[in-house]
Structure 1
Amino acid sequence: MKFSEWNFNEDLLRGIEETGYAECMPVQELTYKEVFKGKDILVQSQTGSGKTAAFLIPIFQLFLESETPREKKALIIVPTRELAVQIEKEAELLGRHLDLVIGSFYGGVGYTQQEKLIREGVNIIIGTPGRLIDFNQSGKLKFNDIDILVIDEADRLFDMGFYPDLKKMLKRMKPREERRTMLFSATLSVQVKNLAWEHMNEPADVSVSPENMTVDNITQGLYHVGRHEKMKLLLGLLNSLQPKNVLVFTNTKQAAFEVAQRLGLNGYDAEYIIGDLPQSKRQKVIDGMKSGTVPYLVATDVAARGLHINDLELVVNYDLPEDCENYVHRIGRTARAGKSGNAISLSCEKYVYGLEAIETFTGMKIPVLFADESLYVEDKSAGRYFNLERSKHKFEEAERGRGGRGRDGRGKTTQDTRKIVQRKKPERTRPHAAVSAGTAAVAKEEAVETIVRRPARKNTGKRTDEARPVRAQSPVETGRGKRPAAASPVKKADKKPAGKTRIEDRLKYYSEKYGENFTASSELLEKDRQKRSLIQKIKGIFRRP
């Protein structure tokens, strides 16, 4: 059925046609029939089936049919930031001729722009649970104002632990009889059905078979290969097929990082995205993949949903997914919107045990392909080790401006550049003596030290009497209880006077020790006299009569 056959608003239909939509996909046609009957809907449909337009277009149409469209609000809850951004972009395309405000709300970015959207009276709110609850708790976003609720990829939200958050949000909304609710999920688990029963108003069931999408439109193939041979085979496949763009999936963050690095060393300009990659960096990589500037992308399952790339030629499961549903979501990145695509899986001894569950879930045997020796290409990165955590640490150091200082590139300090550096201590004037200006100048001159470059000395286990450069220390720099440098020819004092002796005794002691005459300033003498007077008074208080 064509979009033009529906009784849509003229401005909305113009946006649909300019976006390039002509024929309704099965999930769209089935959804429209139930929604425009005034029903809530529970839709089972895989990603890539056209479900985004299945709920956006009814939202626009229902708003436009009301007397006050600008006062209406719709909330679309999604599991990931990428999916929120993608839905926002599609909504802007479809509603380009409508006077409605559209915005996405998710964590990892600042609040300023999102708060501005709320002040402007945003009509279509697309967001992840965490940020939405933040705004609600601060009183800036009211859930009881929501007229239409959409929960997209509900099974994924539950897998990520958002079930309690969803229930909390639903309890703060209007009663189910006073709002319209649409729930989309790839699978109808017990949690999904319970949520629908408790918070939806007798929803109509809409189901689009996943087998049709995975089998009919995608050419699949599987290679059985040793774990340590997978990179060679991947390089051979890329060299043989010469795809315009490729999305490679791994099961771990470390593997995604490593595969991207190895592809780069073999001449393929690859990037990677993982769960804890900064949002700005992740979005930049995804935008580069969509625009064509990043032809090779390695990702974990965080990108398996919500990542829409038009005309993606090839998906490679470098690791077979451990969850059979993720296989469908991964290969669903190609063959979007009814187009054809290719998906190749590399089955190694570590992840082969998930193959049976995948074939049971999809209802088909994945065709096994055989690679001859010519398909294995030399890996120029062989023998090298790549550590994600170390790379993140170096990146953080570089960001702080401290990365690589005094290093030789391997994280070790080089011997030939090692220097003996003495920190310069601030000069301190003793409270009991004052040094004349001439003496202080001489002492400062003697304290000047030259930086010494010393070659590394082999540790023989024997003690050596090798002379070491020692700087003479002035009496000003010599701390309490420290002996002066051995090189000083001055006569040593027999014994340092006790701390409670008179100033005259201490001056005599330092004159004998350093061979120079010291005099006390009048200010110091006056302070000493006052101190002794105060001490005598205190002692007099406690003296027996």
Structure 2
Amino acid sequence: MLKKLVTKIFKKSESKDTETKTDKVESKAAEKEAPKKEAPKKEAAPRKEAAPRKEQNPNNDNAKSQDSKPRNSQDSKARKPQHEKKSPSHTESHKPEPKVVEKFEGEIDAGEFEAFNFPEILNQAITTLGFKECTPIQKESLPLTLQGKDMVGKAQTGTGKTAAFLLTAINHILNNPQQQKTKARCLVLAPTRELAIQIHKDAEDFCRYTDLNCVAIFGGMDYKKQQRAVGRSVDILVATPGRLIDFIKRGDISLRDIEILIIDEADRMLDMGFIDDVRGIVYKCPEPGKRQTLLFSATLNDKILRLVESWQKDPVTLEIEPESVVTDLVEQVFYMVIGDQKLQCLHWMIEHDNVERMLIFTNRKDESVKLYKHLALRGIKCALLSGDIAQNKRIRVLEDFRAGSLPIIVATDVAARGIHVDNISHVVNYDLPYETENYVHRIGRTGRAGETGKAVSFADEYGSYIIPELEEFIGNKIKSEMPSEEMLDYKMPAELDPAPKLDLPRVSNSK
């Protein structure tokens, strides 16, 4: 009994001592943690925090090693928001390298462009690009736009209008330098991503010997990457309406310093339903009279002219009518076919018709996928452009096509909008278009820049009805003939074995 009593008393005493020690530890920890809440900056001295953290795990043999890991983790978590708050240093860490300005070698020979008294570094770029003679739109518009006048220009694709408005903008920026370059001074609006990419490329070509920065923003690409690009100083901003609206809403772009506003292919903006977005963008810019506004369109209908009244101040209207709707440099032919004769004729052309670059049009996305698959499985190097193709892949396809490493593209009308590639030797209407204007747009991609081209259309029982309407629209009879016996007897190549893997898109809808 005595032993049991002594043991019980001893345990009670030990329990009280333990509670007292625990209270002291918790008290000390509370005292040290209290000032930590009031002054979080004391975390910068981690050694002082080590003792209480160690006491909280008295029975852990690895307390020291394990404690160091969470402490560093907590410190990094604590520092992270502080680092993010310092936006200037955060931006600088992602700031792109300064532009490398090329050096011009040789003598300036800008031909007719020298009459416009452009800065020397701009004439150097014109010389390098081989520009000597002005196109009609350049000859008529530059004397007006270089004076700062607002202008409405009616001009088709391929007339040189892009060079006309870019030379105007670059000349203005070079002649009116700013000490502190921040926000964009020139905005170019384009209806499609491909056209925006092409305009941006042309702008960079003209700015190659200057320190001017050109940036393009459009949908389908990484937002943060484009955000970083516009975060630095921008002189010329090329954008599609939808993506620019996103940047404006998020506060990543301000248009209050825009000095020149250029709206390209305004008629297509209307057709694609972008006009409300464009209207909102225009109102974010300085008011008419405090900016120069240039608008280009293939047609000047009443809707376009009504917009001009509110967007421009005393504009000059310039209409450059082509000598014909379709250039004489394009050889046009209709082949009257039935059934699989389309495929036989197409294969024969690819094999025998000296194809440098060929653009093949179908009316439906599912048909374009089917045709692309047929060609690719037979070892013909080609690519597909449809609305379901990812934007980064579309850009890569166009770059390869432009470089000549990809000879054939199968596309729909919507996907091919904005394709501006020189030296397209053949345009093939695998399906005749539903609308006459689309026929002109399609075959207008060949016979550019003084080069000859060939436009071949397959007219079957489903599409031949449009031929009389097409001929009336372009004002000429188009040669129609049966395919030669050689074409019809051509044996199409067999599918490769093993079949190559094809990256086929999921077709969201037929058009």
Taking structure 2 as the reference length, the TM-score comes to 0.72
State the match for 2:491 in structure 1: 378
Question: What is the alpha-carbon distance in structure 2 between the residues aligned to residue 237 and residue 393 of structure 1?
Answer: 29
Letter in 2 for 1:329: H
Structure 1 spans left out of the alignment, 5+ residues: 383-388, 395-545
Per-residue CA deviation, residues 390-449 of structure 1 (Å, 9 max, x unaligned), is 95459xxxxxxxxxxxxxxxxxxxxxxxxxxxxxxxxxxxxxxxxxxxxxxxxxxxxxxx
Per-residue deviation, residues 450-472 of structure 1 (Å, max 9, x unmatched) = xxxxxxxxxxxxxxxxxxxxxxx
Summarize the Cα distance change of 1:335–1:262 in structure 2 as closer, same or farther, 3 Å threshold.
same
Q: Aligned equivalents of 2:316 and 2:413: distance in 1?
A: 31
Amino acid at match of 1:46: Q
* Counterpart residue number, 2:318: 206
Residue equivalent to 2:112: 2
CA distance in 1, matches of 2:339, 2:269: 32
In structure 2, the residue matched to 1:56 is 166
Deviations 1:22-69 (A, max 9, x none): 111111111102212332111111111211101100100111222428
Counterpart residue number, 2:269: 157
2:400 is the alignment partner of 1:288: yes
Aligned to 2:449: 337
- What secondary structure sits across from 2:324 in the alignment? helix
Looking at structure 1, the residues matched to 177 and 378 of structure 2 have their Cα atoms a distance apart, in angstroms, of: 61
Letter in 1 for 2:318: V
Indicate if the aligned counterparts of 1:227 and 1:350 stay in contact, CA closer than 8 A: no
Q: 1:39: which partner in 2?
A: 149
1:256 aligned residue (368, 382, 385): 368
Which residue is equivalent to 2:190?
78
Q: Are the structure 2 counterparts of residues 374 and 154 from structure 1 closer, same or farther at C-alpha, using a change threshold of 3 Å?
A: same
| Count of residues in correspondence between the two structures | 388
Q: Deviations over 1:495-534 (max 9, x none)?
A: xxxxxxxxxxxxxxxxxxxxxxxxxxxxxxxxxxxxxxxx
Structure 1 193/348 Cα, relative in aligned 2: closer, same or farther at 3 Å? farther
Unpaired runs of at least 5, structure 2 = 1-110, 496-501
Cα separation, partners in 2 of 1:371 and 1:55, compared to 1, 3 Å: same
> Where does residue 472 of structure 2 map in the other structure?
360
> Residue type of the partner of 2:114?
S
> How far apart, in 2, do the equivalents of 1:2 and 1:390 lie?
48
**Two-structure CA RMSD over aligned residues (Å):** 2.2
Q: CA deviation at 1:165?
A: 0.9
Rg: which structure is higher? 1
- 1:261, 1:381 → 2: CA distance? 13
How many angstroms apart in 2 are the aligned matches of 1:167 and 1:358? 34
Q: CA deviation at 1:318?
A: 1.0
Provide TM-score, normalisation by structure 1.
Answer: 0.67
Q: State the alpha-carbon separation in 1 of the partners of residues 416 and 158 from structure 2.
A: 11
Deviation at 1:338, TM superposition (A): 2.7
Change (3 A) 1:131 1:90: same
Aligned to 1:221: 333
CA distance in 1, matches of 2:160, 2:127: 15
1:21 aligns with 131
C-alpha distance 153-393 of structure 1, shift in aligned 2 (>3 A): closer
Specify which of 74, 94, 101 is matched with residue 213 of structure 2. Answer: 101
Distance 1:138 1:98, change over 3 A: same
Task: Please report how far the alpha carbon of residue 197 of structure 1 lies from its aligned counterpart in structure 2 after TM superposition.
Answer: 2.2
Instruction: Specify which structure has the higher proportion of helix.
Output: 2
Q: Are the equivalent residues in 2 in contact too, given 1:44–1:208 (CA < 8 A)?
A: yes
Is contact 2:388-2:506 (8 Å) kept? no
**Over residues 203-222 of structure 1, what are the superposed CA-to-partner deviations in whole Å (9 max), with x where a residue is unaligned?**
22222224536232211111
Q: How does 1:137-148 map to 2 (within 5 A)?
A: 137-148=249-260
Counterparts of 2:480 and 2:380 in 1: how far apart (Å)?
26
Identity of aligned residues (%): 37
* CA-CA distance at 1:131 after TM superposition: 0.6
Structure 1 equivalent of residue 386 of structure 2: 274
- Counterpart CA distance in 2 for 1:338 and 1:214 is 13
Is structure 2 residue 140 aligned with structure 1 residue 30?
yes
Amino acid at match of 1:10: E
Distance 1:210 1:253 in 2: 32
C-alpha displacement of 1:236? 2.1
